[in-house]
Amino acid sequence: MNKNIARAIFTSICLLGLAYVSDAESATRKMYDSELCYTCDTGNALSFAKKYEPEITCYEHGGSVDHNDSQRCYSNPKDVLIINANTNQKWLYKLSHLNQGGWRHELTNNLQAVAQTVPRDASNLADELIKYYDAWDRAVTKVSQEYNSSSMQSTLAISTNTILQQMLSENNCENEAFTRVAKLAFDGRTKTTLQERTEKALIEEYGSLGAAFETTRMTQFGYTVGVGNVGFSGQAEYVPKRRMIDLKFHDAINGNHRVVYNLDFSKGIRMDLNKDMTKFGGVSVRSLHQNPASRNKVSNCMLETLNIYREASVKSSGTSGGGIDLPPAVGRHPGRSYGESGEEFCTWTFYDPWGEILFTMMGSCPLFPK
C-alpha cells in the first residue's frame, strides 16, 4: 500500500476516535472545528478552513422521475478556527452553504465563508493548545535522546530469570542489541517504566499531564480539548516533528533495530507500538506480520529472545527424522540442524497475549524440542 494512502487511512481512524463529544458537553460548550497548522498564513488560512466544509444531508421529496428534481439538501453552518502554531495567529470563519433545500451540487458550488472575530476564550484555549503541543515535542525528544544514549541502553539488562534461562542456550544472546529491543517492545514492566518517564518529562516541560483543559484527548494527529464554555475538535497538520518515542539500536549482526511508540494523551499517557516504524533487523513489524515465514529468516538470538516474551509454536519444514510440531510455549532455544538428509529449518509462529498471530519466522529448530 502506498505510504501516503496508509498514513491518510491511519490519520482518519485516529480523527474518528477524537471526534466524539458527549451530548452533555456539546449542550453546554461552544465547539469549534479547528486545525493546528505550521504552514498556514493570512494568504491560505481560508483554504485550510474550507477543508471542514459543513456536512450536506439530502432527502428525497415528492416522486419526480428526475432524481435531481426530487432531491432537497441541507447543511448547518460551522465555525472553523485555524491556528498557526508558530506565530499564534488565528483565523475564524463561519462556513455555510447558500441555496438550502436545493440539489447537492447547488450547495457544494456555493460554499460561503465569512471571517469572524476570534472570541477571547477561544483565543486563550488555542494558545494553551500550542503550549501543550510544544511541551509534548520537547518531552518526547528528551526521553528519546535519553533512551538512545549508550549508557541508558546498557541499563536495559535482561532479568536474572532470563539470564538463567539463556545460560541453558548455546546462542550467547544476553549481550546482543536485540535483547534490549525485544524488552522495550514486549516487556510490560519496561514499557511501564518508559511510559512513566514520558509522563514525568511532560510534567517537567509543561507543569501537568492534563494541562489547563477540562476535557483532553490528544494524539500527534489531532485533538479534542475543552475548558469552560469553549472546546476544539480538530487535527494537527502533519509536519516532520517528533511526537513519538523513537529508539534506535545498532546491530551489525542482525541489522539495525528501531522501537517507536505512538502516544495518546487523555488523563494519562497511552503508548502503542507503531508497527510501521518499529523494525527488527531493518524489517517493520507490520511487514514481519504480513510476510510468509520464508521471507522472515532470522538469527537464533532473535528467535530465542522473542520466545522469552511471546509464545511460539514450532514446526519443522519437512518430515525427515520424524519432524517437529510443537504447541505454543515460551523458553525454547533454537540451535540445531534437524533431519537425516542435512540441515532442516523450523517455522516459528509467534502469538500475542490474546492468541492472535504476531508473525511467522524461519530459523533453526529448538535445541531440546519440548
| Mean pLDDT of the chain, nearest integer | 84
Average pLDDT over residues 179-200: 93
pLDDT value of position 171: 67
Residues 108-133 pLDDT 10s: 999 999 999 999 999 999 999 999 99
The rounded distance, in Å, linking the Cα atoms of 297 and 284 is 14
Of 13-27, 168-182, 195-209, where does mean pLDDT reach its minimum? 13-27
Query: How does residue 19 score in pLDDT terms, banded at 50, 70 and 90?
Result: very low
Query: How does residue 160 score in pLDDT terms, banded at 50, 70 and 90?
Result: very low
CA atoms within 13 A on the CB side of 109: 6
- In this structure, the number of other CB atoms found within 10 A of the CB of residue 265 comes to 23
The torsion angles phi and psi of 146, rounded to 5 degrees, stand at -60, -50
Average pLDDT over residues 241-265: 90
pLDDT value of position 215: 76
The rounded distance, in Å, linking the Cα atoms of 277 and 258 is 7
> What is the value of pTM for the model shown?
0.81
pLDDT value of position 16: 47
> Amino acid identity of 285?
V
Query: How does residue 214 score in pLDDT terms, banded at 50, 70 and 90?
Result: confident
Query: How does residue 257 score in pLDDT terms, banded at 50, 70 and 90?
Result: very high
Task: Answer for the pair 86, 137: CB distance below 8 angstroms, yes or no.
Answer: no
Please give the distance of CA 237 from its chain centroid, rounded to a whole number. 16
Task: Answer for the pair 296, 362: CB distance below 8 angstroms, yes or no.
Answer: yes
Q: Is the pLDDT of residue 170 over 90?
A: no
